[in-house]
């Protein structure tokens, strides 16, 4: 079977705009978390990625017209921008890697996913639409231009489907009542019906003759007529005009597509999504493609938006997020995790092919990935699912539990930490040295597993395990009763043997990655 190596990698993470900063920061046991200001003052800590797209302008300008950078800046959301930055970083570790990927043609794949999608763009577009809809409905419901409402105001006779007048509703529900009230009366507006009929005539203009030249002429004519229509009615912009096309450019496959275009990679391109196990799943898909010979190289990674009120609030109300203003360390008080954003991208390649061309593998060697589904619960992991993933990885790697020297936990600082350690100890021996890093950089829904693996690999390349925020005496007593060998706030020598990494995603999706140091 073909062996796989990592020939490039890049990171965007809290306090870490690039892979070099990421490695430097790992040498300290400090947490990289900071206060979240998305709600204004609050008690949440988050992993806010450090990033400037401008750092990559020179690289992009050297390969594309100046408008390309402007497009990325204006149209692409932060998850895509993070992925682009991490990809460009990944090409720097091995000179000539960019040209080799291009030369591989359809044998160079791109698998870059996202756990949450571009929620900041979705939030902004949704709010823009909501506000535009309110303005629109209120305009057409105004009694001065709505005879139906004027008539009702003189009779107050109930109409079918009419919501209660806002002033009769409890103050706490007044906003929703106003929305419903204006929306109802806008639909009764004869003036709006006239407006829509005129707009329908404009939109009915179709392309005739030469498609390319006629297309531009029709677009221009429509814009001119619509502008006249707006001037005639003095109405606000229709709500459908408030929805930015950026919503389409930033769907889940956006990061993969943009990376493939910037890298001129013509092979298979898509977005694998498996919640917190996304990076492990993506790694398995990449390794499988290389093993089968479908690909010689795969640009594989994950990217998450910066912490957003939607994600922070969602995590909190799922009862998995800490909110007391202090760092919640895995394996200790189990108060909850911290939302984080950023990206990680690896360039994986057929080891024999790339080393024959003079490229040097990085970090450590991924040897097998086991994946399973619990088929049980949306949040609480089972024992059977993760255990089976571990066994599948060991079987594929041709190793036994006695071969394992170190292990990185999913460990989210929730009660699930205890079950995870208990599950792990049923498989691997007491001598295994454990790391848990979400107290360092927080929980990136899809990128977190990639950060943890990259930290593990960077350490193995040095022959050490980087420190964690965990200090002596902080270990949860019940967890300490199951296993006691954990990496604390001081770096230590990496044990010999296989390195394991388990991720457990929302919906009961598990990925176990086994790796070994290069010899």
Dump pLDDT digits (tens) for 112-154.
999 999 999 999 999 999 999 999 999 999 999 999 999 999 9
User: Helix 119-141 to helix 309-317 angle, to the nearest 10 degrees?
Assistant: 100
Confirm whether 214 is domain-assigned.
Answer: yes
For the residues 75-100, what does the mean pLDDT come to?
98
Confidence of residue 211 (pLDDT cuts 50, 70, 90): confident
Nearest CA among 449, 74, 83, 86 for reference residue 281: 449
Confidence of residue 178 (pLDDT cuts 50, 70, 90): very high
What pLDDT, on the 0 to 100 scale, is given for residue 155? 92
Residue 156 has pLDDT above 80, yes or no: yes
Task: In whole angstroms, give the CA distance from residue 1 to residue 3.
Answer: 6
What pLDDT, on the 0 to 100 scale, is given for residue 209? 74
What pLDDT, on the 0 to 100 scale, is given for residue 380? 86
Confirm whether 352 is domain-assigned.
Answer: yes
Distance of CA 159 to the CA centre of its chain: 47
CA angle 320, 435, 494 (to 5 degrees): 170
For the residues 412-420, what does the mean pLDDT come to?
96
Confirm whether 190 is domain-assigned.
Answer: yes
Let me know whether 448 and 508 are in one domain.
yes
Let me know whether 65 and 81 are in one domain.
yes
For the residues 400-418, what does the mean pLDDT come to?
97
Residue 214 has pLDDT above 80, yes or no: no
Environment class of 422 (CB within 10 Å of its CB; exposed 0-12, middle 13-18, buried 19+): middle
For the residues 20-45, what does the mean pLDDT come to?
97
Nearest CA among 136, 191, 182, 134 for reference residue 162: 182
Residue 217 has pLDDT above 80, yes or no: yes
What pLDDT, on the 0 to 100 scale, is given for residue 379? 85
Strand order in the sheet with 297-304: 4-12, 342-350, 297-304, 108-113, 269-270
What pLDDT, on the 0 to 100 scale, is given for residue 288? 98
Task: Give the Å distances, CA to CA, from 185 to 91, 182, 196, 240, 280.
Answer: 58, 5, 16, 19, 53
pLDDT digits (tens, 9 = 90+) for 429-462: 999 999 999 999 999 999 999 999 999 999 999 9
Confirm whether 460 is domain-assigned.
Answer: yes
Residue 205 has pLDDT above 90, yes or no: no
Let me know whether 260 and 375 are in one domain.
yes
Nearest CA among 212, 236, 231, 153 for reference residue 188: 153
Task: Tell me which of 242, 261, 285 is where a domain ends.
Answer: 242
Confirm whether 431 is domain-assigned.
Answer: yes
Task: In whole angstroms, give the CA distance from residue 278 to residue 272.
Answer: 7
pLDDT digits (tens, 9 = 90+) for 421-435: 999 999 999 999 999
Let me know whether 235 and 266 are in one domain.
no
* CATH number, domain with residue 32: 3.40.47.10
The token pair that represents 256 in the structure block:
């993969």
Contact 98, 108 (CB under 8 A): no
Let me know whether 90 and 174 are in one domain.
no
For the residues 27-49, what does the mean pLDDT come to?
97
Let me know whether 164 and 221 are in one domain.
yes
pLDDT digits (tens, 9 = 90+) for 328-346: 999 999 999 999 999 999 9
Task: Tell me which of 242, 258, 274 is where a domain ends.
Answer: 242
Task: In whole angstroms, give the CA distance from residue 465 to residue 378.
Answer: 32
Q: Which residue range is the domain that position 176 belongs to?
A: 141-242
Residue 412 CB partners (closer than 8 Å, separation 6+): 320, 330, 336, 337, 438, 443
Let me know whether 195 and 254 are in one domain.
no
Nearest CA among 315, 348, 345, 317 for reference residue 438: 315
What pLDDT, on the 0 to 100 scale, is given for residue 213? 72
What is the share, in percent, of the chain residues with pLDDT greater than 70?
100
Nearest CA among 258, 4, 231 for reference residue 114: 258
For the residues 58-83, what does the mean pLDDT come to?
97
What pLDDT, on the 0 to 100 scale, is given for residue 344? 98
What pLDDT, on the 0 to 100 scale, is given for residue 519? 82
Residue 176 has pLDDT above 80, yes or no: yes
pLDDT digits (tens, 9 = 90+) for 333-385: 999 999 999 999 999 999 999 999 999 999 999 999 999 999 999 888 899 99
Let me know whether 193 and 87 are in one domain.
no
Let me know whether 183 and 270 are in one domain.
no
Let me know whether 238 and 254 are in one domain.
no
What pLDDT, on the 0 to 100 scale, is given for residue 65? 97
Number of domains the chain contains:
2
Task: Tell me which of 242, 272, 299 is where a domain ends.
Answer: 242
Confirm whether 125 is domain-assigned.
Answer: no
Let me know whether 178 and 273 are in one domain.
no
Lowest-confidence pick of 221-225, 379-383, 399-403: 379-383
What is the share, in percent, of the chain residues with pLDDT greater than 90?
95
What pLDDT, on the 0 to 100 scale, is given for residue 33? 98
For the residues 53-60, what does the mean pLDDT come to?
98
What pLDDT, on the 0 to 100 scale, is given for residue 480? 95
Let me know whether 204 and 298 are in one domain.
no
For the residues 14-30, what does the mean pLDDT come to?
98
The two beta strands, 342-350 and 297-304, are: antiparallel
Confidence of residue 414 (pLDDT cuts 50, 70, 90): very high
Q: Count Cα neighbours of 315 within 13 Å in the Cβ-side half-sphere.
A: 27
């Amino acid at each position: 079977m073909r062996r796989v190596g990592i020939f490039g990698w890049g990171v965007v993470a809290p306090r870490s705009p690039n892979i070099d900063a990421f490695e430097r920061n790992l040498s300290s046991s400090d947490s990289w978390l900071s206060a979240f200001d998305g709600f204004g003052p609050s008690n949440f800590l988050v992993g806010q990625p450090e990033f400037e797209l401008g750092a990559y302008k020179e690289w992009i300008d050297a390969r594309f017209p100046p408008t390309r950078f402007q497009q990325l800046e204006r149209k692409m959301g932060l998850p895509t921008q993070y992925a682009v930055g991490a990809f460009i970083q990944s090409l720097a570790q091995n000179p000539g890697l960019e040209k080799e990927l291009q030369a591989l043609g359809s044998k160079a794949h791109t698998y870059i996913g996202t756990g949450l999608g571009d929620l900041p763009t979705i939030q902004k577009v949704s709010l823009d639409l909501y506000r535009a809809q309110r303005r629109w409905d209120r305009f057409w419901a105004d009694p001065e231009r709505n005879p139906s409402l004027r008539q009702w105001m003189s009779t107050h006779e109930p109409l079918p489907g009419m919501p209660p007048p806002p002033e009769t509703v409890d103050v706490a529900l007044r906003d929703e009542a106003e929305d419903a009230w204006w929306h109802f009366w806008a639909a009764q507006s004869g003036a709006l019906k006239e407006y829509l009929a005129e707009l329908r005539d404009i939109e009915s203009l179709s392309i005739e003759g030469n498609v390319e030249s006629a297309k531009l002429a029709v677009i221009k004519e429509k814009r001119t007529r619509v502008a006249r229509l707006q001037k005639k009615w003095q109405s606000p912009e229709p709500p459908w005009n408030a929805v930015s096309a950026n919503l389409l450019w930033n769907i889940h496959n956006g990061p993969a597509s943009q990376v493939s275009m910037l890298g001129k990679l013509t092979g298979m391109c898509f977005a694998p999504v498996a919640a917190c196990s996304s990076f492990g799943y993506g790694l398995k898909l990449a390794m499988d493609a290389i093993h089968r010979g479908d690909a010689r190289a795969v640009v594989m990674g994950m990217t998450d938006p910066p912490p957003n009120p939607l994600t922070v609030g969602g995590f909190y109300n799922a009862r998995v997020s800490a909110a007391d203003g202090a760092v919640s360390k895995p394996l200790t008080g189990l108060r909850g995790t911290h939302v984080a954003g950023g990206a990680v991208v690896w360039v994986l390649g057929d080891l024999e092919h790339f080393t024959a061309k003079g490229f040097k593998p990085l970090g450590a060697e991924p040897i097998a990935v086991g994946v399973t589904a619990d088929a049980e619960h949306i949040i609480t992991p089972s024992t059977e699912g993760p255990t089976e993933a571990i066994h599948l990885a060991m079987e594929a790697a041709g190793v036994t539990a006695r071969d394992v020297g170190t292990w990185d936990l999913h460990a989210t600082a929730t009660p699930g930490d205890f079950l995870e350690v208990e599950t792990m100890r049923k498989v691997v021996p007491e001598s295994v040295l454990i790391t848990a890093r979400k107290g360092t950089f927080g929980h990136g829904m899809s990128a977190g597993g990639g950060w943890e693996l990259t930290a593990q690999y960077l350490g193995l390349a040095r022959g050490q395990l980087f420190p964690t925020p965990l200090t002596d005496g902080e270990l949860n007593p019940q967890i300490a009763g199951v296993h006691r060998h954990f990496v604390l706030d001081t770096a230590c020598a990496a044990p010999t043997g296989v390195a394991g990494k388990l991720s457990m995603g929302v919906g009961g999706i598990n990925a176990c990655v086994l790796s070994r140091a290069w010899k």
